[in-house]
A and B are shown apart, each in its own frame.
Chain A
Amino acid sequence: MNGGFHIVVCGSIVPDPLQTLAPIEGPTGPALKNELMLPAVLDPWAGHALYEAAHLAKNAPGSKVWLVSLGPKAKLQQLMMTIAQKVSFELVVLDGPAGGFTDPCEVAGALAGGIEKIPDLDRSRLLLFGGCASASRDAGVTMQMVGERLGITDQFLGVDELTVSEDGSLQVLERIEGGQYQVSVCTGAPAVLAWATGNLPEPPNNPQIGMMNMRTIMPALQKAQPAPVGAEGVSYLGVELPKQRRETRIVKDLSVDEIAREIVEWLKG
């Protein structure tokens, strides 16, 4: 590779999946109850994208990784206490809402704007990474829109594997229907890769990496650009928790044979 890749990862926070989520009517539309107070994690698929980016950067000398995050600055700062320990990157902060009820078009606009302002970003070497969907809005469209805004027309969705050849070409495995992968080869950067889980485990925390990263992350947080995205033009007519609640029959006193028989009857019924 000529000088490595410039990998920009888009990713932000989502509520920790173990938290209780309840919709409320906020001043600007739907929101989550106690939204700011809920412990947050890096959006899982974006997280995989970040780890893949770091892994790739390590193996392609001269590469550099940026994480572009749109979310409340204070929450992102808290997130950095975990993420910044795992891999090396530079942070670009867009201070705005990270909830699910914002419009992906506006989010994509803010992200693309933030990326365009990254100094020294070589667009010819750009690999735009992100999750295949967020765990909040779960639209699966933002990365493609950011890619379009940046003029990148080689895009991949639901990526689980990227192999870079010596000539710089990219072989990509994308999830498609029925547990299959589509295999494609792209001649090289620039490209958009919206990742699924990839193949890498979550790197362990390493406070030493964190301390290094924080030298640039804290100034980046201080320089956060406001990004007041919303959902203009969307009228939410209602947001509710699913009402369907089952009356669970708890079977404790049947023998294994009886349970098996009941299950088979149900399967065949």
Chain B
Amino acid sequence: MDTTNSENTATEYLSTLPGDDVRQIMWRFADRYELQMIIQSARSLARGVVARLVAEGARNTHEWTEKKAQLLTGFDEVGLTTVFMDPEDGGFLAGPKNLALALVAFELSWVDGGAATCSLASNLALSPIHEKGTPEQRHTYMSRCVPPLPGEDRKPWRGAFALTEPLPYVGVDTGILSGKMRVAEWEEGKEPILHVEKRGRFITNMGFANFVTAAVDSDDARIKGSAMIILEEGDPGLFDRGATTLKLVHQLSSTSDPILSLKVPASRIIGGYTVKDGVIIPNINHGDVIESVFRRTRVPVSVMSSAKLLSAVEPVIRYQRTRFRGGAASSHGTPRYEQGLQQKEDALQRLVDVWASGEAGAALGFAAARLFDEFDPIEREKERVLAERGITGARAQMKLFKELEKGALEYLALANQPEGERDAARFQELAADTLVQFLITDSLANVFCPACKLWNTGYGATMMREAVSLMGGYGITEDCPGFLGQKWMDAQLEATYEGPEAVQRRQLSITMTNELFLAQFRQWIKDLRGIADQRPGTGACTLASAMELWLWTLGYLQESRDADGKPLYHSSRHGVVFPVADALCWLLTSRQQILDLLELEAKGPENPVVASGLAGFVNFFSDLCHVQAARSAGEVGRVCAELVYGYNRHPDWCRDAVETCFRGEQLDAMDCIMPGIAGYGRSLGDAVELDGTHASKAGPCPQESLQTFMLLRHRLDLCLTGARLAKDRAATAVSRVMIPEALDYP
């Protein structure tokens, strides 16, 4: 018998791949059994029906097929359809459901992203009704979408969400709609009948949807503004599902370009309407509806890409280890046979990178989901308070919030003071102020949501390619274990739908400069130094240095102008603001990864199962955090340096030589007084000789004028100390970890 076990080895390595017990702690649902059960449900479907569909080639058609429709009955059977519903609408999960939906998306996309999209799209269709619908609308459509109970004879309804339109808009600018509504009939004292024309593009679930929630604009003086409206399959007119989209990815979701021309009662306007002076005024315009919807539904998409990265770990390890087995060149017991490709440092370290990216993305995605779970009740309470105070309209609301911002900043400052030293009464007062709490949470939600959507899917796609490459040629075959090739392709759509990367960057470029967010960000830097003090191997210090550099750079860019005198930080100057947004995402993911590690370390001992392998997990995840923090620091350093220096004009031999260069003849003259200066001076700086000759390069080197930036950047580079040692350790752990005999899906 082997006497080495994780329980009794001195240097603890990762014993097994992290299981449910570990994830429940890291992602903070160890005490939420309903979520744990939903995960098991989603997993059974994903690794059963979904995996078989993929393995049997169901993805090889664009059309929605009977076989693919197994997914829908699967969702119904295992309770996933009702996860979205509130108990009063036939669901079983009370309260906010952001984390629940993110976990479902995670489990489904562990096997196939399209299946996750199919599930999420049904929720997306209902979301406008759920978030902004009238009570009647909510009840009607939620109860129709609930799967039939035993003994009930009805088919559950499915929905599609139609925002994106054909060219020229294609959804990039969702503020402009070509979908229109007009008054078709309006008899005195009766409900107006509207004629709705909507052409959709890339509309998910359209192959089988019974209803569509469509964004439309008024094309009639008797209707004011835009709205989202519910269109049903049986409404009079044309309900053409349209041509199937020939997409190369997510083929387990149905996508087409519908043509809808229908007459519907005005009561289908989501959120209802009022009539004033003979004009129908939708209570909520389409922009408000989609803002409310997307800030939530983008979060589950972000964890989909991260799930795929994490799902790649096991198949890649197995492939690497068994790579040379079965051939003549390696026999049982030899390192080549036992370790296969894992004898090579590169194979291991690249897998460490993939794993670390998956962890970081999942950490931020789930943090965002939890944040929205906190945010939902605060937001509802805010709406109640505002209504109570009679504050309506965006302008009045903004004015009030501007006034409240001071209180929110004060609250944050008090929260960071030691409990005994702060003004407890004032702190309590602000803590109980719904609007203050709303502003603070909102400032985070406005950053976390676009950040996780942007980074997890965009960088996730890049790292998924890396995972595919680790499987060699096998990676790009249909039967690659873990379907890695499909997952890579799919990631591209995840980065695109529900707001492409540019939309997320744009949102971040505005929200990340919110002073409330920045106040919290500053505190995080201090917190990370404190974490680093206690847990130096986590990369927390590296990250704190990178955050300082980012913060300084943001401030610099906001105040500075380019060589032509134009302001650097401007919402339309994407070359500046977008990279800053990108850099922020790296920092946020890395930070959240470290926080998850600390949670595991703190709560792990309470669970005997986790406790038995805890040291190995903590060691390994610490190293992964360090690896990722170093990677983030590198990205931030690069972006910041490029932006800080990149908008200065490079010195020119003709124009700038006088100011920035030594004169060769002067150096020669000084050589009499200071022997050696002629040579030393030329080596130290740029020099121009009497005949105008100079070193062969672009121009004199720019002079360092930003001492603070230079110091911060230099310190950041030094903070990378030890990061590669962490990577070596993580790689060793990957080479030793015990994995199952086979993957648990086809």
Contacts and interface: CB of A to CB of B under 8 A. Distances in A.
Which of B608, B613, B740 has the largest number of chain A CB atoms within 10 A?
Answer: B740
B741 A81 contact: no
Instruction: Determine the main DSSP class of A at the interface with B.
Output: mixed
Given A23-B2, A239-B1, A204 B741 contact: no
Given A208-B92, A211-B92, A81 B2 contact: no
Interface string A198-223: 00000011111011001000100000
A75 B77 CA distance: 26
Interface string A80-119: 1110110000000000000000000000000000000000
Nearest to B149: A208
B711 interface: no
Contact of A30 (B1, B41, B78, B326): B1
A75 B609 contact: yes
Interface stretch (B12-20, B461-469, B512-520): B12-20
A141 B449 CA distance: 57
Interface residues of B, number: 41
A37 B16 contact: yes
A36 B609 CA distance: 5
B388 interface: no
A38 B44 CA distance: 18
Interface in B7-34: 15-16, 19-21, 33-34
Contacts of A26: 5
Interface residues of A, number: 43
A245 B420 CA distance: 68
B609 A205 contact: no
Nearest to A21: B741
A207 B19 contact: no
Contacts of B78: 204-207
Interface stretch (A12-20, A45-53, A144-152): A12-20
B16 A18 contact: no
A139 interface: no
Contact of B4 (A24, A204, A247): A24
A78 B6 CA distance: 21
A238 interface: yes
B738 A34 contact: yes
A200 B195 CA distance: 52
B38 A34 contact: no
A81 to B, nearest CB: 4
Contacts of A185: none
B609 A37 contact: yes
B607 A81 contact: no
A5 to B, nearest CB: 22
Given A218-B33, A238-B1, A74 B607 contact: yes
A99 B440 CA distance: 51
A204 B1 CA distance: 39
B203 interface: no
B735 to A, nearest CB: 15
Given A34-B6, A39-B20, A210-B37, A72 B741 contact: no
Given A20-B738, A36-B609, A81 B33 contact: yes
Which of A16, A72, A207, A238 has the largest number of chain B CB atoms within 10 A?
Answer: A207
Nearest to B15: A34
Contacts of B82: 207-208
A55 to B, nearest CB: 14
A207 B40 CA distance: 9
A34 B614 CA distance: 11
Contacts of B37: 81-82, 84-85, 205, 207, 210-211, 214
Given A18-B740, A207-B92, 17 more contacts: A23-B1, A25-B1, A34-B6, A36-B608, A36-B613, A37-B612, A38-B16, A74-B21, A75-B609, A81-B20, A84-B37, A85-B79, A205-B41, A207-B34, A207-B79, A210-B37, A211-B92
Closest 8 CB pairs of A and B: A205-B41, A36-B612, A207-B79, A81-B36, A210-B37, A82-B40, A18-B740, A37-B16
Interface of A: 16, 18-20, 22-26, 30, 33-39, 72-75, 78, 80-82, 84-85, 204-208, 210-211, 214, 218, 238-240, 245, 247-248, 250
